[in-house]
């Protein structure tokens, strides 16, 4: 069987937690980490590939995407759209 490369566009957030860079997409509820930004992006790409390959092999890709909020439009899966990503402040009660 031939292994082909395909292009996929996903919303990805990369943030720093301690010394690690975390790459996360809510579209697949998938994340990975590394010590550098570039390595986190590389590992993230690998993780997306593994997710797609394994769910395709198991025959659960469509079901998983649907459960993650994806829509199938004209035979093409479309991820949910990120409308906003902001840092918000909230006042919450604290019990001391």
* pLDDT tens track for 80-93: 988 888 888 999 99
Alpha helices in 1-96 (DSSP H): 37-58, 61-67
Mean pLDDT of the chain: 91
Asked if residue 4 has pLDDT above 70, the reply is: no
pLDDT of residue 65: 95
- Compute φ and ψ for 77, nearest 5 degrees: -75, 135
Residues with Cβ < 8 Å from 55, sequence gap 6 or more?
61, 64
Calculate ∠ Cα 18-22-27, nearest 5°: 150
pLDDT, one tens digit per residue, over 26-51 is 999 999 999 999 999 999 999 999 99
Where do we find the tokens 């909230």? 90
pTM of the model: 0.79
Judged by phi (left if over 0) then psi (alpha if -120 to 50, else beta), residue 74 lies in: left
């Amino acid at each position: 069987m031939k292994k082909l490369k395909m292009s996929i566009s996903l919303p990805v957030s990369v943030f720093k937690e301690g010394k690690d860079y975390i790459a996360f997409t809510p579209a697949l509820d998938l994340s990975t980490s590394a010590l550098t930004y570039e390595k986190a992006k590389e590992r993230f790409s690998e993780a997306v590939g593994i997710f797609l390959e394994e769910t395709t092999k198991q025959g659960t890709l469509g079901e998983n995407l649907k459960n993650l909020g994806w829509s199938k439009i004209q035979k093409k899966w479309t991820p949910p759209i990120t409308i906003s990503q902001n840092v918000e402040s909230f006042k919450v009660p604290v019990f001391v």
